[in-house]
Amino acid sequence: MYVSIGVGTSLRDMRGQPNGATAQTKLSFVGGPGLDLINPEAATPAVRFTLPPGISFGGHDLPDSSEGCTATQSTATCSWHLEPIAGRNSINWGWDLVAASPGTYLLTAELVDMDADSSNNRATLTVVANDSPATGGGAGGGGAGSAAAASAVKLSPVKPKAGSTLVASVRVTKGGSPVRPTGIGCAASIGRTKLRGAPRSASGVASCLFKTPKSAKAKQLTGSVSFRAGGSSFAKRFAARLG
């Protein structure tokens, strides 16, 4: 298992960095851990992402259970099932991070249960956060309340059954008001089987419709709903066991 850390100004441009590298960021940026399966066997690894003093989770895109994560004020521990086939052998998480002041900070990510190759179990990234001029400026420009926010994924039905249609929805707001998302992407799979998702966009909602096979009873379905809203990119993951 290979552990990495990525940073960027948004989820769209977040890039994984070499272990031990240094990256320049703004005071508010996006970052998180990544996992790559390098062995031929499927695995469900867990990674712990740790923030140093002076860096905190902030903004609207935070670690949550729909991404397989639990979080404290300074850590996020996430787990996801990976398989050695195309499209299922790696995963990256990214959240809104905020530096309290300009400075140099060390982010770390490590496997909760170390594997045999200890050289890949832990990654560090030094971020140099610098103040930047405010954007926007005129009336209606760029305040904190104008950033888009996305909820966790809501499944309908809450307890989906094999052979039925599953709807995965995310609420989207900007400044407290509904905003229509664009560029919706739907991804889901059950084991080695990928499901085709039908994207839907409405005021305040991004959703994906998946038709589950009858043969998938008692199997785990994992997926994501991705979209753009208010100048930001979002990717919300979910998982459910089919009845």
Give me the sign of the Cα torsion angle 158, 163, 164, 167. positive
Is the confidence at residue 115, as pLDDT, over 70?
no
Where is average pLDDT lowest: 7-16, 92-101, 118-127, 162-171? Answer: 7-16
For the chain, list the domains and their CATH numbers: 2-130 (2.60.40.10), 146-241 (2.60.40.10)
Q: How far is 29 from 13, CA to CA, in rounded Å?
A: 11
pLDDT tens digits along 178-213: 888 888 999 999 988 899 889 888 888 899 999 999
Q: What is the pLDDT of residue 142?
A: 36
Is the confidence at residue 218, as pLDDT, over 60?
yes
Is the confidence at residue 144, as pLDDT, over 60?
no
Give me the mean pLDDT over the 10-36 stretch.
87
> Whole-model pTM?
0.58
On average, the pLDDT of the chain sits at 84
Share of the chain above pLDDT 70, in %: 90
Is the confidence at residue 121, as pLDDT, over 90?
no
Is the confidence at residue 139, as pLDDT, over 60?
no
Question: What is the 8-class DSSP label of residue 82?
Answer: B
Strands 148-150 and 165-174: antiparallel
Q: Where does residue 43 rank: exposed (0-12), middle (13-18), buried (19+ CB within 10 A)?
A: middle
Phi/psi for 146 (5° steps) reads -90, 0
